[in-house]
Structure 1
């Protein structure tokens, strides 16, 4: 029993506690029988978009004659004068572009979306995940801390930066995982021939540790000298 408890704690720290517990329940009904009813209620109550940001969404829960407001900043409730509307989307919109960034405000989670040339925020209760997309042609903007650094990863070029310098990169290849759209493996080099390798993967949460934002994408970046982890958005 002690080994089972240690396993549950490990899964919780990796951010997928309830999903993995469900698998254990199915495999070991005698051990976890008392948890079944509560777990079922939790899973049923959780909104589809409550735990993840995505690269695309569909609008849900908006009356046909209405439009979904896109706000300048994530702000829950308040008077109309307290927040700024920067765009609106028809109720039947099925391809709302996301950046992968989100923020929890009160009891609601808000998601950053792109409408034309404008970035804004939509309440997650009006969004559901769109179809998985091939992101090889997109550009990711990633960053990390301790020390502060950033990397841009595009299909043909990129850039690595830290507080002291910026280094232009050439993308040699972008390779998805075998038979899947994700993760993406980038192979890059700078003007001196230094090789870089970056893997962008989808995560439940990636936190930069410095802000209130959460991110759907994580990067692991390495060259001959460093190995760094950071969070990413799609630069749309």
Structure 2
């Protein structure tokens, strides 16, 4: 019975994203950025809070590229990024959108990594192919049957209906929302709901996603 309902389940998962556009501003993040206006050996400081007087967590080199900005400060002058397993803030004055980072492509058609805990799992895309992984097991191919964006909604409101290794059904929806993996201080700008249907029945999994280069 479960295998006959992917379209209905996909619709149900999409319902939170189908609110009237007037209720929420179109999201533009997360998005990849490159450092600009910094000349080596100078670096771009990553600070604990979005202000110039905050403590320094680390730094980005002058030629750093593919930096994922997951959120902006209230003023829009600072962007939240990840440095290892910690998150901090950098001045947006020294960041520019990376080439091709306009957000028009579906997240499943570009590099993406989603992870979940309890149980641990991951869904990854290298931009050309998707794979599903569980701890201690080889990654399994994910074959998309349908990818879609909710009508009238901006980037990062994307849905996937697929088969894992040709047999188990995966229905996933990625949306713009602050997310935590519960294990680190990494900040994510995308969350995911994933419904997996296999021989044991169906289970709904939740997790966080990143578009940062792996």
- Structure 1 pair 123–100 and aligned structure 2 pair: CA distance change class (3 A): closer
Task: Confirm or deny: 8 A CA contact 2:43 2:59 kept in the other structure.
Answer: no
SS in 2 for 1:126: helix
- 2:114 pairs, out of 136, 142, 145, with 142
The runs of 5 or more residues in structure 2 that have no matched partner are 1-22, 49-53
Partner of 2:156, secondary structure, is coil
**Offset of residue 129 of structure 1:** 8.7
Match of 2:61 among 73, 86, 108: 86
Pick closer, same or farther for the CA change 1:66–1:124 going to 2, 3 Å: closer
Asked if the contact 1:221/1:227 (under 8 Å) is kept, the reply is yes
- SS of match in other structure, 1:223: strand
1:175 paired residue among 144, 148, 158: 148
Give the structure 2 partner of residue 41 of structure 1: none
Consecutive unaligned residues in structure 1, runs of 5 or more:
1-22, 24-51, 90-95, 114-120
Deviations 1:110-167 (CA, angstroms, capped at 9, x unpaired): 4249xxxxxxx86145367968521323121010111221111466531111224232
Distance in 2 between residues matched to 1:74 and 1:172, nearest whole Å: 43
Q: Under a length normalisation based on structure 1, what TM-score does the superposition of the two structures give?
A: 0.53
Q: Is the 8 A contact 2:33 2:68 kept in 1?
A: no
State the alpha-carbon separation in 2 of the partners of residues 168 and 132 from structure 1: 27
Between the two proteins, the alignment pairs up a number of residues equal to 162
Q: Which has the larger radius of gyration?
A: 1
Structure 1 outlier segments of 4+, above 6 Å: 73-76
1:126 maps to: 93
With the length of structure 2 as denominator, give the TM-score of the two structures: 0.57
Which structure carries more helix by proportion?
A: 1
Return closer, same or farther for 1:234/1:185 CA change in 2, 3 Å cut-off.
same
Cα distance in 1 between the residues matched to 2:165 and 2:144? 12
- The answer as to whether partners of 1:215 and 1:233 remain within 8 angstroms in 2 is yes
Match of 1:162?
Answer: 134
Q: From the superposition, tell whether residues 155 and 99 of structure 1 become closer, same or farther in structure 2 (CA, over 3 Å).
A: same
Contact preservation (8 Å) 2:142, 2:166:
no
Taking a change above 3 Å as real, the CA distance of residues 191 and 213 of structure 1, as seen in their structure-2 partners, is: closer
Q: CA RMSD in A?
A: 4.0
Does the aligned pair in 2 maintain the 1:100–1:215 contact within 8 Å? no
